[in-house]
Amino acid sequence: MADPILSVRGLETFFHGDEGIVRAVDGASFDLFPGRTLGIVGESGCGKSVTARSILRIVERPGRVENGSVLLRRADGSTVDLVKLDASSREMREVRGGEIGYVFQEPMSSLSAYHTIGNQLMEAIRLHRTVTKAEARDRAIELLRMVGIPRPEQRVDSYSFELSGGLRQRVMIALSLAAEPRILIADEPTTALDVTTQAQILELIRRIQEERNLAVVLITHDMGVIAEMADAVAVMYLGKVVETGPVDAIFHAPKHPYTQSLLRSIPSVLAQPLSRLATITGSIPHPFARPAGCPFHPRCPSFMPGTCDTGAPGLTRLAPDHEARCFLYDQPRETSA
């Protein structure tokens, strides 16, 4: 396999407040390869979106990236650590959109209601390309056509509130691709969409990926979307990546108890009628009351007293491309946070 286009190592992003420190991302590590899709999955509040925002250095205050590295392999073959760049520097602004496109979670709040979608697309195009207004408008229409928006010549002058949820999401994808990036981060791209529209959006992302050899980071809590779209999976819990591996290994031979619990909670057409869905005991701990030891141990069906609650497990390599962070695999302990 080719070298990764993006390597995240030991990424830590903390929010500092009067009540204490929230460790939103607590040592996340994973790789993204050209033309492949990495699915990042976990419950709400596990740090998925903050991880994506940390990569692009757009974490809102009082949050900040504390440690780790985000190594981006650029088109010319050079490598840059995005963590070492100033978040407001010209080089970092060139990476946003130019190298890495981002589809935000909620298109209605991400699109301006005061400007036409054409003006917003033209602004993104001219930010990264030296073109005239007329050329930018032609490119905006081309982008709208590419993402499947009907009558793009007319829609380019529409406002976001005049579009349906599915069309707004298509505009967001067009915006993220305006400068022809090599990486696309899609943060819950099917949120609040009906099932038919969800399928259309996912198929659109897959088609564009094949046409452009895009590397895609797909953030979701929907394991069904992961099964359909991802080549590799990173499972996050309380800011940590607890398991990584190929999608087939994650679904057919999951190792971490959290991954196993997530998969058990998926509805099945083979289940008995009126049977109750399996649930994960308890809930994600409060950010200011993180448990000692393994963060999942208060909810874990495989909890081992005296082990899981006294130290944090390290990553164990179970196969060349499959790792899990669990004491079940006899990995020496890390220091508990």
Domain boundaries, the chain: 259-334
The confidence score (pLDDT) of residue 337 equals: 44
Query: What is the pLDDT, as a whole number, of residue 336?
Result: 46
Alpha helix segments (H runs only) across the chain: 48-55, 90-98, 107-110, 117-128, 133-146, 152-155, 165-176, 195-212, 223-229, 247-252, 257-264
Q: Which residue has the higher pLDDT, 119 or 193?
A: 119
Backbone angles phi, psi at 151, to 5 degrees: 45, 60
Predicted pLDDT of residue 330: 67
> Per-residue pLDDT tens for 228-262?
999 999 999 999 999 999 999 999 999 999 999 99
Whether the pLDDT of residue 65 is over 70: the answer is yes
Whether the per-residue pLDDT at 94 is higher than 50: the answer is yes
Between 107 and 195, the more confident residue is 195
Tokens 């030891």 found at = 293
Task: Dig out the tokens for 9 from the structure.
Answer: 């190592």
Task: Give 10-58 pLDDT, tens digit per residue.
Answer: 999 999 988 889 999 999 999 999 999 999 999 888 999 999 999 999 9
3-state secondary structure of 328: helix
Average pLDDT, the chain: 90
pLDDT of amino acid 193 = 79
Q: What is the pLDDT of residues 137-194, one digit of tens each?
A: 999 999 999 999 999 999 999 999 999 888 999 999 999 999 899 999 999 988 777 8
Q: Going by C-beta distance under 8 Å and a sequence separation of 6 or more, which residues neighbour residue 273? A: none
Count, residues in the chain: 337
Percentage, residues of the chain above pLDDT 90:
69
| pLDDT confidence of residue 230 | 95
Distance CA 188, CA 263 (A): 19
What would the pLDDT profile of 304-313 be if each residue is shown by its tens digit? 999 999 988 9
Query: What is the band of 289 on the pLDDT scale with cuts at 50, 70, 90?
Result: confident
